[in-house]
Structure 1
Amino acid sequence: MFMFGYALVPLYYRLCAALGIEVASPQVLEELRTVAAAPSRPLRVEFDANSHNDVVAMRPAARTVELGTGTAHKIVYEISNLTDAPVTGRAYPSYSPARAGKWVNKVYCFCFDELRLAAGETIEAPVVFVIDRELPEDIGAVALSYSFYPEEAAPAEGHGGHQAH
């Protein structure tokens, strides 16, 4: 098992290169080694998005995917500025059931950074994540939702258990 986890490092670098993302921290590499060591089970993941004050439109490329726990998956959100002025803000994640967030490990997420969109601009924003194989058996589906807040309307720290994984 240890050797398998250790062998994931080169695979991780190739996956990042293929997905066009920057290499993550050693902590993320350790998380990938850990989740790769346990058996996988099928899981349904649902995606949703909304915007505070409707300044942007956000929608995931897929509303639902079936995947195995412990496997990396990429989903792309399309985010459009609906105004005739630039918009700066941040997307905050939430999970359902709320306790599932503990097992959602985001390797890369547009929610890590502040987003800046020109008037009328549309961007594609990826999320690469792994649902930990230690996810409790009684959780048969996980919903991942993002709420966009313009910087002047950003929620206080700790809003809804949002955190960068």
Structure 2
Amino acid sequence: MADSISLKKLVTCLLLVVVAMFVFGFALVPIYDVMCKAFGINGKTGGQYQGEQVVDTSRQVRVQFLSTNTADMPWDFYPKHDELTANPGAVNEMVFIARNPTDKPMSAQAVPSIAPSNAAAFFHKTECFCFTQQVLQPGEQIEMPVRFIVDRDMPKEVKHLTLSYTLFDITARHPPVAVNTGG
């Protein structure tokens, strides 16, 4: 009898742990968003911009570009220039270079981040290589543009933004098709 009571307690505790883990899994995204906002890290960009902008030529914002690869990503990945000066409301473009130095086709996905996070909602990408997966054949190199607008409503005290991309190898989840070069 005592064994069946302790077994019931054990099963109940294990079920509670499973339910708690399930609830925690759903709570991770809002917790992540709150932590990012509280600590000013990993600012999410304002997304694609749909409106019209009037260029504010009286203001300039320095936009710095950074690129990193995850530990398992062997590609060369970098911006053509380290920074540019943008007028709020103007459409700007920066080109990033990616090269697959391996002997196999690979798929990649870039994930953007904006700092400072309080300015992220005022950074609007109108075109970005991060919207789609990139597939490169062995030795292939491509130029990938990002077009963006710094919103005129961005807080005046923000004079410097950093747009950074992290490049992830997603070949295992999204295998590319090798291109037959003939022969």
Q: Normalised by the size of structure 1, how large is the TM-score?
A: 0.69
Structure 1 stretches of 5 or more lacking a match? 1-26, 155-165
Match of 1:79 in 2: 98
Q: Does 1:68 align with 2:124?
A: no
Aligned match for 1:91, one of 110, 125, 136 = 110
- The count of residues paired between Structure 1 and Structure 2 equals 125
Match of 1:124 in 2: 143
Match of 1:107 in 2: 126
Give yes or no for contact 1:50–1:57 (8 Å, CA) kept in 2. no
Give yes or no for contact 2:73–2:169 (8 Å, CA) kept in 1. no
Map 1:18-97 → 2, pairs under 5 A: 28=49, 30-31=50-51, 33=52, 35-36=53-54, 41-52=59-70, 53-97=72-116
Structure 2 stretches of 5 or more lacking a match? 1-47, 174-183
Deviations 1:2-25 (A, max 9, x none): xxxxxxxxxxxxxxxxxxxxxxxx
Map 1:125-144 → 2, pairs under 5 A: 125-144=144-163
Matches of 1:43 and 1:82, distance apart in 2: 35
Deviations 1:101-153 (A, max 9, x none): 21111110000001001112110000010000111112110000111101168
Tell me how far 1:75 sits from its aligned partner: 0.7
Tell me how far 1:72 sits from its aligned partner: 0.3
Matches of 2:148 and 2:124, distance apart in 1: 6
Matches of 1:110 and 1:150, distance apart in 2: 15
Percentage of matched positions with identical amino acids: 30
Give yes or no for contact 2:81–2:94 (8 Å, CA) kept in 1. yes
Matches of 2:73 and 2:96, distance apart in 1: 16
Q: Quick one: structure 1 residues 136 and 97, their matched pair in 2 at CA, closer, same or farther if it must change by over 3 Å?
A: same
Matches of 1:45 and 1:57, distance apart in 2: 22
More strand by percentage:
1
Q: Quick one: structure 1 residues 153 and 66, their matched pair in 2 at CA, closer, same or farther if it must change by over 3 Å?
A: farther
Secondary structure at the counterpart of residue 167 of structure 2: strand
Match of 2:165 in 1: 146
Matches of 1:55 and 1:109, distance apart in 2: 21
Give yes or no for contact 1:40–1:133 (8 Å, CA) kept in 2. no
